[in-house]
Structures are given as structure tokens and as C-alpha cells.
Amino acid sequence: MSSAALLRAMLDVEQAWLDALVTAGVAPAAARVEVTSLAGAGDVATLAQAAVATGTPVSGLVALLRERAESRGEVEAARWLHRGLTSQDVVDTALVLCLREAAARIARALDEQVASLAHLVRAHVSTPMLGRTLTQAATPTTFGLVASGWLAAVLDAADDLAAATRRGWPIQAGGAVGTSAALLELCAGERDRAAAVLAHAADALELRLVTPWHTVRTPITRAGDALVRCADAWGLLAGDVLLLGSTDVGEVTEADGGGSSTMPHKSNPVRATLLRRLALTAPGLASTLHVAAGQQASQRAPGAWHAEAAVLADLARQVAAGAELATALVGSLEIHPDVMRAHLDATAGVDSEQRVMAGLVGRSPGGAEGYLGLAEHACAQILDRATAPEVPS
């Protein structure tokens, strides 16, 4: 979510609103103009500087749009641009548009990861390996079960992201204090006409028409939480890959690892390292969104909603990049069952205590493969979930 992308989204919002005013018969037909042609990426720096003075990028943007419209002879457009909106309406709706685009991109990556991980689980459902708890050797498990944990986490992330989409991304259009009083005044008190403007704008942007949420920041925190859930899932994957791929373990490795500037023999797990970094930093960004949500005041808050845009943009940008990294990581994994077997054989006695306890109640689990419990059943359950058709909630 770049500054240029946010500017494009703000222009889309102003375009949809102006078109809605014209379509509903509030503004004259002469007010219609291609708003998106009046500004672009080249204006980002100027608008950012203006935002320092006004506290929002919208004031400078509207002034710029009106100035350029007038210079083209579009006097009515200049007169009607932004009428009935407040700056937070534009920023919030633009953020929602950017989030929707990012979420769609991330969702596609998650779908790819689900397919790849499901294949990995099926291929290794019975591949025995040493289980490890608190970094120490434990009882046997299967690599299929380990991979099914990654798959379950990715499925959870996909579910959370899909829930945000199913709820519908909301438009923000409440005016100065959330009453839409300015819009109703423009409509000469005709409530149906005002409602039509709101509906036209929401339809044009393909957003859900809801009551104003200037100080009820649930759409923002929900989106942030869904993004962090993705980072959590990839952090689990990355943590296991880093452990299993260490030089003294070598059971799972990244193909095409990164090199070292001073040790040419090394192949560093770059993707897993970057995903772990994301998992460590993303929750902190989302926590800022929650802090801001709890510090709203009156009908529009000073500082609280201003704190969101940069943080949310950073979070969305990092998670979108992480989605590509995670897809590449899953596709690059090299599995070494022979090494897993060697480590399992070398620690054959670590499960002796549990095996003795099983013997005391007349149960003999047999060899290592016989002491895998319900690993295969658990894998099957996760695979069923991965292949089940989506049921709308």
C-alpha cells in the first residue's frame, strides 16, 4: 500500500462521490469531470508536505483538484468537488479500497500455499521423524503432521481474511460529525435523494453502505487482525524451517538459499528469516491500531485516526510482500526423509518412559512407526478441511 496507491484511492473516492451527486440530480451535469485525470503520483510529495500543515492529505488534495479543474474551465466541477464529505470520509474509504486490493492479492497467495502444503502433507503423511519439544528430542511424529500444522495455520489465516471480505468492505461517508447534514442540505432536505447519493457512491466503489464509523474503528482493527493472522501462520512455518534446516539438523532445507558475504559455503534461509521478521513485527503494528481504536474521542478523534493510515499501510505492505515470500518458501522446500530417519534411529530411547507406561496397561506400541498415535488421522482431518468447499457464513 504505497503513498501513490493511497492517492489513487482517494481520487477514486472523490470521483465516485462527484458522480453520485450528479447521478442523483444534486449537482448539475456540467459538474461531471474525470477527477482521476486532475492529479497523480507526481503530486504525492507536494500533498504530503501540505498534510503536515493541515493534519490530513485531503485538504491539499481538494484544493489542488479545484485549482486544476478551474484552470481547465471546469467551473462547476470545481464547485461541487468534495461537497458533503469530510476529510476522514475520504481517507477511511481510500484505506478500505487499498485494503480490499491487498486482501485479494494475499488471499490468492494463501490459496496457492494451501494447495502446496496439502500436497506436502499427502506425500509425507507416513514419513517418520523425531518430534521435538522445548528444543529437545521427544517421541516420534511424522513430517506430514508437522506440515499439516503449517497448513492448518494458513487455513485459519485464509478464513479470517475471507470473513472480512464476506462482511463487505464499508464506505465512510458521514460528513463532519457523522450526521450527513451537509449532504442533506445539498439535497434541499430531501432524505431520499441524500440516500440515493450514498447508495450511488457505495455502488460505484463496490463497497457496503453502513452507518458512519468515524470513531468505531472495527473495520480497521478487524483488517489489521486478519493481516497479522497471516504473519502468525508464516511465522510458524518459518520457525520450523529454520530449526529443521539448521546445519546440525538438515531435515528440511530451502532451495536457492541466499549466500553469505564472508562465508561462501553458506546457503542462508533468507525467505524463512524474512518471514520470521514479519511475524515478530506485525503484531506490534496491529497493536497500534487497537490502541488508536480505544482512544477515539467525540465524533472525530484528534490523533487517534491520524495514527492509523501509515501503520496500516506499512502492515498491509509487509504482509503482501510476506505472502509472496511464503508461497516461494513452500515451493522451495527440500525434504530429506533419510536424515529424519537417521535422527530418529539415533534417539530411539527417548520415548522409553511413555512406552513403559503403555506396557503397564497392557498396550505395546511396537516399533517407532507403531508409536505415532493418531498422526495419520490428524493429517486426514486437516486435508479434509483444505479440500472442503467453502460454505458462506
Domain boundaries, the chain: 1-85+173-212, 101-170+214-393
Does residue 273 contact residue 238 with C-beta atoms inside 8 Å? yes
Q: Among 37, 246, 260, 352, which one carries the catalytic annotation?
A: 260
Domain 1-85+173-212 of CATH type 1.10.275: yes
Q: What is the predicted pLDDT for the residue at 164?
A: 86
Task: Say yes or no: do domains 1-85+173-212 and 101-170+214-393 share a fold.
Answer: no
Does residue 63 contact residue 47 with C-beta atoms inside 8 Å? no
Cα separation of 50 and 85, whole Å? 19
Q: Which alpha helices (H) appear in 245-374, and where do they start and end?
A: 270-293, 308-332, 337-346, 352-360
Lookup: cell for 183: 449532504
Q: What is the predicted pLDDT for the residue at 266?
A: 54
Cα separation of 327 and 112, whole Å? 7
Q: What is the predicted pLDDT for the residue at 393?
A: 44
Domain 101-170+214-393 of CATH type 1.10.10.60: no
Residues found in the chain: 393
Q: Would residue 300 show up in a list of annotated catalytic residues for this protein?
A: yes
Q: What is the predicted pLDDT for the residue at 261?
A: 41
Summarize pLDDT for 13-49 with one digit per residue, the tens. Answer: 999 999 999 999 999 999 999 999 998 888 898 888 8
Q: What is the predicted pLDDT for the residue at 81?
A: 96
Q: Would residue 260 show up in a list of annotated catalytic residues for this protein?
A: yes
* Tally of CA atoms within 13 A in the half-sphere of 381 that contains its CB: 8
Q: Compute φ and ψ for 170, nearest 5 degrees.
A: -90, 145
Strand partners for 128: 142
List of residues 6+ apart from 311 with CB closer than 8 A: 285, 288, 289
Q: Among 300, 332, 352, 393, which one carries the catalytic annotation?
A: 300
**DSSP class of 190:** -
pLDDT mean by block of 10 residues, the chain; 393 residues: 89 97 97 92 86 86 94 94 96 96 97 97 93 85 95 97 91 94 95 97 97 94 96 97 94 73 63 97 96 88 85 96 97 95 81 54 51 84 86 48
**pTM, rounded to two decimals:** 0.88
